[in-house]
Structure 1
Amino acid sequence: MTLEEQILQIVKQEVKPAIGCTEPISTALACAIIKEHLQEDLKKLTLFPSGNLLKNTMAVTIPNTSSSGIEMAAAMGYVCGDSKLGLEVLKYATPQDEQTAKNLLPKITVCLKKNVPNLYIEAIGESENNTIKVIIEHEHTFIKLIEKNQKTLLQNTYAQQNYSQQEIFKNLNLEDIYNFACSIDEEKIAFIADSAVLNTALSQEGLSKDYGLKIGRTFQKHIQSQLVPNDLMTQILIQTTAASDARMGGAPLPAMTNSGSGNQGITATMPVVVVAKHLQKEKDLNRALFLSHLTAIYIHSKLPKLSALCAVTTAGIGSYAGIAWLFTKEFKIVSKGICNMIGDISGILCDGAGSGCSMKVSTTTQAAFKALLLALEDSTISGKEGIVANKVDESIQNLCDIASKSMLNVDSQILEIMMSKNLH
């Protein structure tokens, strides 16, 4: 397989649709599989999530419901999930299913699992005569094990997609990624247009109803009251956060994800869509989107799948690359702005999925536009300051090293705080 084929394969694997936040959806998927194999009435369902997965299931609304929590995700997966749909497992959920799922909640127990991959869910369903165990790890849809009555029905060895990405990307730098995105045949990246279609629809949904913190609708409202200007930066914020509001608020529409996250996919997509329309460069949109998504994937490949660093930051760096290319088509501007962003938003923490994620999406999109304006003026944070280096690749590596190493204790502290709140 050529390098071009490998990179295209990675992008297609990492940019795909999902309905709802992907950690509860992964839980729902495991429980849908249990239902398909149990073949009797459920008596007991026990969940063993990793800390990171649990963190991202506590507060986020489950799609097609008004409820949140890992127990509800599991119950919905068991009641109405279709495992063949992968990250769209709850696509056909109804309000009646939510009530049925609530009746199952007393049968569900959650036990934190330690010393497992940071993306991990083990679910065990028991009936009168059968016990089904399902394990999903590393990737949201990677089914490691299906076991019935201690007999293995399916067992897979993780192909280490993230490791493969690291192997492919470790010999490439950001300029290689940029040049690849700028030179690949347009026909080969036509698929990336789906990200604009899906995430724009989600944005419109978020602007039509009150979801989550309704950040997009709030800013839209205050354009009328003249508290905020109706300029390009505001439109980027409105249209991007509206999609995040809808996704985190339980909207039944799919988001096009990036690196396993709908918010990352939204952040890598919507600013580029808005800027392309503003500049009347829709003909360049697909290439800008491909550069955005590929840059985000490239940086995220250096990170754990889930960590204490809010990953909309890396997706925002991707979207910055896309919008900077639309403005100038100069790698120098791309690299300068990315250093500015790393100096600006590297401290945004992931404290679990919920409506507050939209706030972090809004902060990241504003940072991207701010970084662009400064880069266009040849203004960059000095390599003598903080974690920013004189070379963009060193800045990226510094950010990823902090998230991968020193933020591990931060991650544990965040989970401890969240679990303490959840018990009171």
Structure 2
Amino acid sequence: MKMHLWSEFIAVIKKEVVPALGCTEPISVALAAAIAAQKLSGKVQKIAVCVSPNLMKNGMGVGVPGTGMVGLPIAAAVGAIAGDPTAGLEVLKRITPKDVIQAKALLNCDSVSVNVADVSYTLYAKVTVSSGIDFITVTIADSHTQVLSIEENGVSTYIAPQFCSKKPQSYDPFKDIVVKDLYDFAVNIPISYISFIEQAQTLNEALSIEGLTENYGLQVGMTFQRNIERGLLSHGLLTDVIMHTSAAADARMDGAMKTAMSNSGSGNQGITATVPVVVAAAYLGVGKDKTLRALVFSHLVAIYIKSQQHKLSALCGASTAAMGAAAAITFLLGGNYQQISHSLSSMIADIAGIICDGAKPSCALKVSSAAGAAVKAALLALDGMHASGDDGIVTNDVDQSIQNLCALVNGSMMQTDVQILDIMINK
């Protein structure tokens, strides 16, 4: 066991599994606007936003918490009016109905513009807030909360240190790591070291309950619930996993004012890595300690796979997160490491082709498909069935299968992403 890396695994989980209120792409715009507005002397009069094509893709149709609206203009406006510049991905947690009215007034006056920028960053948001006299520009790039630069009345007042000179080679905790190392960590780490992951359960379960009690989005979770009541479906592991997981996505993607625990910069990925595992643990009557181990395993596998892919790629992130859930559910069902690796192989064979065509309420459909696939892969693995090296991009080595998936995402699916963006922007 590579115990010397355990502290690094914990650090990467704490970095990548964080609370986020709302879809993280429009939230990054809201955060840039909030930081800029804080430095502005005078009332916000105009807001100009420039974003990368991929950020536009994930910001066009998704609900912005507390506003009842979708899109980047309202995110920028309410962020500038009332966003908390110190709250990171929870920048909108303190907005009020009065703030939303003021933000909508800016939109009604055509005082907010959003354009697509030709930049090298996949994740990029540049927001300029003006009072009519002064103007402040804040640029966020590379990650949802990383401020690249700040300009005040055209004068640069801040440049992120890592961009001032040649960026040093960062330490990669996953270098020379295989899935077995992640498994060894999850089953052997002292529980006290990973108790923090319980917050993921608390936050994402609350979102699920919200989605099952209020009318959000496509109501995928509520549809399952209604059809159980009608007798067309019945409670069971598969049904309950799909119902609860999709309900959380319903609520989040339609702007519920409840924080998700994200994974790799995505609330839906955090939901998909969390809720199926929590539901399976409750269904099986598993104790708290094993549930926490399963949650850490799920989130770490999801991070491990996602870290090998380009940011905001053409592959739906929920499918990557569900691979972590499949591994964790297999573990909860008593599966050994070989069976866990088999469940991951089946997931790659099953849902590798789910595209990301932006953040929007119908993402709950993809979340439900990914969550259901995780249960299916786990059950197959326990019965000794799995996709083998004769099946497409899958090999008989799970880590090589993951590398093949990521090569597909980082290679030919780059053109898929271009085509998706072209279709969406020209609709």
Is TM > 0.5 for Structure 1 vs Structure 2? yes
Hey, what does 1:197 align to over in structure 2?
202
Task: Say whether the 8 Å CA contact 2:122–2:142 is kept in structure 1.
Answer: yes
2-side partners of 1:275 and 1:324: how far apart? 10
One-letter amino acid matched to 1:242? A
2-side partners of 1:71 and 1:108: how far apart? 6
2-side partners of 1:90 and 1:187: how far apart? 32
- 3-state DSSP of counterpart to 1:227: coil
Task: Report 1:3-402 matches (<5 A).
Answer: 3-105=5-107, 106-158=110-162, 164=170, 167-283=172-288, 284-402=290-408
Uncovered stretches (5+) of structure 2, i.e. residues with no partner = none
Q: Cα–Cα, structure 1 residues 215 and 261, in superposed 2: closer, same or farther, change >3 Å?
A: same
> How far has the Cα of 1:117 moved from its partner?
1.0
Q: Percent identity of the aligned residues? A: 46
Query: What do residues 3-26 of structure 1 show as CA deviations (whole Å, max 9, x unaligned)?
Result: 222221110010110110000000
> How far has the Cα of 1:154 moved from its partner?
2.0
- 3-state DSSP of counterpart to 2:126: strand
- 3-state DSSP of counterpart to 2:63: coil
> How far has the Cα of 1:2 moved from its partner?
5.0
Query: What do residues 56-77 of structure 1 show as CA deviations (whole Å, max 9, x unaligned)?
Result: 0000010011101111110110
One-letter amino acid matched to 1:133? T
Query: What do residues 213-257 of structure 1 show as CA deviations (whole Å, max 9, x unaligned)?
Result: 111111001001111121111001111111111101111010000
> How far has the Cα of 1:164 moved from its partner?
4.2
- 3-state DSSP of counterpart to 1:169: coil
> How far has the Cα of 1:411 moved from its partner?
0.7
2-side partners of 1:131 and 1:220: how far apart? 50
> How far has the Cα of 1:98 moved from its partner?
1.8
Query: What do residues 74-105 of structure 1 show as CA deviations (whole Å, max 9, x unaligned)?
Result: 01101110111111100012222222111112
> How far has the Cα of 1:150 moved from its partner?
2.3
Task: Say whether the 8 Å CA contact 2:17–2:261 is kept in structure 1.
Answer: yes
2-side partners of 1:385 and 1:321: how far apart? 19
Task: Say whether the 8 Å CA contact 1:142–1:158 is kept in structure 2.
Answer: no
> How far has the Cα of 1:153 moved from its partner?
2.4
Q: Cα–Cα, structure 1 residues 273 and 242, in superposed 2: closer, same or farther, change >3 Å?
A: same
- 3-state DSSP of counterpart to 1:41: coil
> How far has the Cα of 1:382 moved from its partner?
2.3
Task: Say whether the 8 Å CA contact 2:313–2:409 is kept in structure 1.
Answer: yes
1-side partners of 2:40 and 2:320: how far apart? 41
RMSD, matched Cα? 1.7
**Aligned residue-pair number:** 420
> How far has the Cα of 1:40 moved from its partner?
1.7
Question: What is the TM-score when the length of structure 1 is the normalising length?
Answer: 0.96
Query: What do residues 399-422 of structure 1 show as CA deviations (whole Å, max 9, x unaligned)?
Result: 11111111111111111111111x
